[in-house]
Chains A and B, each alone.
Chain A
Amino acid sequence: MKPGSRFGGWAGSLTAVLLTAYPANRLSAQDTSAIDRGVRIGIVYRPGVRPGMVVLPVPKAALDSVRALVVRDVDYSDRFEPITLPGGDSIRAASPPSSPSAGRTATGAGGGARGTGGAAVATGLNYPLYQALGADFVVGITPAAGDSTVVTVYDVAAGGVRRELRARLPALGDAGFRLAVHRLADRVLEASLGVGGTAATRILFVMNGKVYTIDQDGADQRLVSSSDHQAMSPAWAGDGRRFAYMEFWEGHGRLFVQDVASGKRAPVVTTGQALDFTPAFSPDGKTLAFSRAIEEGTDVYTVNVKDGCCLQRLTVGRFYDNLSPTYSPDGRRIAFVSTRPGLPQIYVMSADGTDQQLFAPFDYGATGSSNAPEWSPDGQTVAFHRDVGGTLQVFVLDVRTRAVRQLTSVGRNEDPTWAPDSRHMAFVSDRSGYRQLWIIDVETGRIRPLLQQSGARLPAWSPRLPETASSAP
């Protein structure tokens, strides 16, 4: 409220309106279908309140798409409250992102530019105005010489420019355009909060027996599996350049590794006519762990995909099954599913198969089946789904304390996959009436649908994608 008192008239009343319209009630651990969007008034880094961010209108129509993508990425990061500018013109006038015409700025806001640093004077940003709007950061997107784009991140509290990011964006409509803008949005996040974003990522999933990829914001869905064989269980390599998946062939199941850029694929060297499924790359990308079903049961194996050799069997469960391996990010352990307690539950072992033990605790005879574990990229948690009263719910296991927390409760929720920030998660849910993919922010419980198509399942969230992975199929 402090800044509001410095302004006359509309700024104060605006503050009051915004405060009453959006009571701060964040920090819910459970998921909520209510999408919480809007404006927040506050000072930076208050616990439970996210910093506000304004992405300024762009001076050039060609940059509208860039701005729209960045705004959405900022929103989906769940790290900021994206602040939409009310009133339009007066604010627009108050924020000439490139020109140093500070005079218009002053008249527009009526409060005078009280910039504390030289940068503020040079750019003409009216810091007190944005402070009054609840913004902690302001982002300006401007064209620069030689087809490049400059993104300026202003720190409102410090009253200066936090960082200037320069990028050469492909033309709108080019295959690499969206990923390049997403990467820029991630750099904005990095510049303002010092944390990595997830905008430049994609999610693989299976629909009608085919593997698809989609950007994390729900755009640019593409078919990536090229055969008529029914596919399952896509899994990314840690470099984001390859992924593995399984296909049903005549009487058995085969694993393939496909190159993202070229779309070319190669079968994984395996022996015999077994049913191989649920591939998972080791973090160094050299080893593929997978499940193999043979007559004596299903067990976890590894194969060296770099040299195409060295099949190793990690589990021997003659009267029970072991499946669905997932590596810890340091590559030293593998979490997996084992039916040794009678029902499938989450176990863990060393990457060489030794020291097998229960991972996610359960009450014998009371806890339902637990399946589909995925180790988070920060190594701290393992997500999985568990049968609760006849339907499936997503859980997370704290690796250090081995405490288990239920994350979802609405409908049937399964097959969680972590975003590279270890904070967002994609999963399959039928909460909207049919099974499709959703994304949840584990910190706030905010949830959004990834796509609006029935039948999407078995999602796999990519790591942060490298530049070369952006080419079209």
Chain B
Amino acid sequence: MKRLPLLLLTGLAVVPIAACGGKPKPETPAPAATANTDSIEAAERARADSIARAEKEARDREAAEREAQQRRADSLAALGRSTEAVRTLLATMIHFDYDKALIRGGDASVLDQKMAILQANPALHIRISGHCDERGSDEYNLALGNRRATAAKQYLVSHGIDASRIETVSYGEERPIAQAHDEEAWAQNRRDEFEILAGGENLKQP
């Protein structure tokens, strides 16, 4: 995706230079030089733009994730050490790729926050529910949602949380939060939700 436009535009930038170099000495050098400078600059601008375009999707996604994490941190700071803030943090969902139950790289930090909250609040018990989008088989999605809920639990348990403090359940595709039938809605519905079962009355910030 990235390499192709870059190569093409490098080629475009070189062509005008070569063409000008091959000409006899111009009688009016100033406009020609200006033209050359313009075209190289334009090509470089175009190239930069193109790279930006090519990488836009990836950057946007990273930026959005950073922003989201920043927002979470900011909102936590703004809300202070209130129970409500911790609850909000704990309820942050994680999302999955289609027909996958692997924790995404960006979601590991979300789970790390939950781990810190669970460590700071030893009485806290939670339930993780796994959900799927509508594209897969209805009944198979119960098994897939179970894998998704279990994946998050295993992450937390492997980082030192007592397994008995975390329940898991799967709702398959039966409880979508986005009702549309497109990729945006499906991406939202492929998720783990986190709810407090017990010990959520007075939550300490980690």
**Partner-B contacts on A (CB < 8 A):** 209, 230, 232-233, 248, 251-253, 273, 275, 277-278, 291, 293-298, 321, 323-324, 337, 339, 343-344, 369, 371-372, 385, 390, 392, 414-415, 457-458
Contacts and interface: CB of A to CB of B under 8 A. Distances in A.
Given A232-B172, A297-B147, A321-B147, 10 more contacts: A248-B174, A251-B127, A291-B139, A297-B146, A323-B139, A369-B99, A372-B140, A385-B137, A414-B138, A457-B138
14 contacts: A251-B127, A252-B169, A253-B142, A273-B167, A275-B170, A278-B142, A291-B143, A294-B146, A297-B143, A321-B144, A324-B139, A369-B137, A415-B138, A458-B139
Nearest to A339: B143
A369 B137 CA distance: 9
A298 B99 contact: no
Contacts of A293: 142-143, 146, 170
Interface centre among B144, B146, B154 (most CB of A within 10 A): B146
A298 B138 contact: no
B146 A414 contact: no
B189 interface: no
Nearest to A252: B169
B136 A323 contact: no
Task: Please classify how large the interface on chain B is, using the bins under 10, 10 to 19, 20 to 34, 35 or more.
Answer: 20 to 34
A371 B140 contact: yes
Contacts of A457: 138
B186 to A, nearest CB: 12
Contacts of A297: 143, 146-147, 150
A371 B154 CA distance: 27
Contacts of B168: 295
Interface of B: 99, 127, 135-140, 142-144, 146-147, 150, 153-154, 167-172, 174-175
A366 B143 CA distance: 22
A240 B10 CA distance: 74
Contacts of B142: 232, 253, 275, 277-278, 291, 293, 298, 323
A344 B141 CA distance: 11
B147 to A, nearest CB: 7
Contacts of B154: 295
A344 B140 contact: yes
B158 to A, nearest CB: 13
Contacts of B143: 291, 293, 297-298, 321, 323, 339
Contacts of A323: 139-140, 142-143
Contact of B169 (A232, A233, A275, A415): A275
B167 to A, nearest CB: 6
A209 B154 CA distance: 30
B183 to A, nearest CB: 12
Nearest to B195: A251
Nearest to B140: A371
A324 to B, nearest CB: 6
Nearest to A414: B137
Nearest to B136: A369
Where chain A touches its partner, the secondary structure class is: strand
A392 B137 contact: yes
Contacts of B136: 369
A298 B137 contact: no
Contacts of A339: 143
Nearest to A392: B137
A371 B137 contact: yes
A344 B137 contact: yes
- Across the A-B interface, give the 8 residue pairs with the lowest CB-CB distance, nearest first: A371-B137, A293-B146, A298-B143, A321-B143, A371-B140, A251-B169, A295-B150, A323-B143
Contacts of B169: 251-253, 275
Nearest to B175: A230
A232 B150 contact: no
Contact of B139 (A248, A277, A294): A277
A251 B167 contact: yes
Interface centre among A248, A295, A371, A385 (most CB of B within 10 A): A295
Contacts of A291: 139, 142-143
A78 B158 CA distance: 59
Given A291-B143, A323-B143, A209 B138 contact: no
A230 B137 contact: no
Contacts of B146: 275, 293-294, 297-298, 321
Nearest to B141: A371
A392 B135 CA distance: 9
Contacts of B167: 251, 273
A343 B150 CA distance: 18
A209 B173 CA distance: 12
Interface centre among B139, B168, B175 (most CB of A within 10 A): B139
A163 B136 CA distance: 50
A252 B167 CA distance: 10
A343 B140 CA distance: 11
A296 B150 CA distance: 8
A242 B199 CA distance: 43
A370 to B, nearest CB: 9
Nearest to A296: B150
Contacts of A385: 137
B139 A371 contact: yes
A415 B138 CA distance: 9
Contact of A232 (B99, B140, B174): B174
Nearest to B134: A435
B139 A369 contact: no
Contact of A278 (B139, B150, B153, B170): B139
Contacts of A321: 143-144, 146-147
A347 to B, nearest CB: 13
A271 B136 CA distance: 29
B125 to A, nearest CB: 11
A294 B163 CA distance: 13
Contacts of B139: 232-233, 277-278, 291, 323-324, 371-372, 458
Interface centre among B138, B153, B154, B170 (most CB of A within 10 A): B138
A273 B169 CA distance: 10
A276 to B, nearest CB: 10
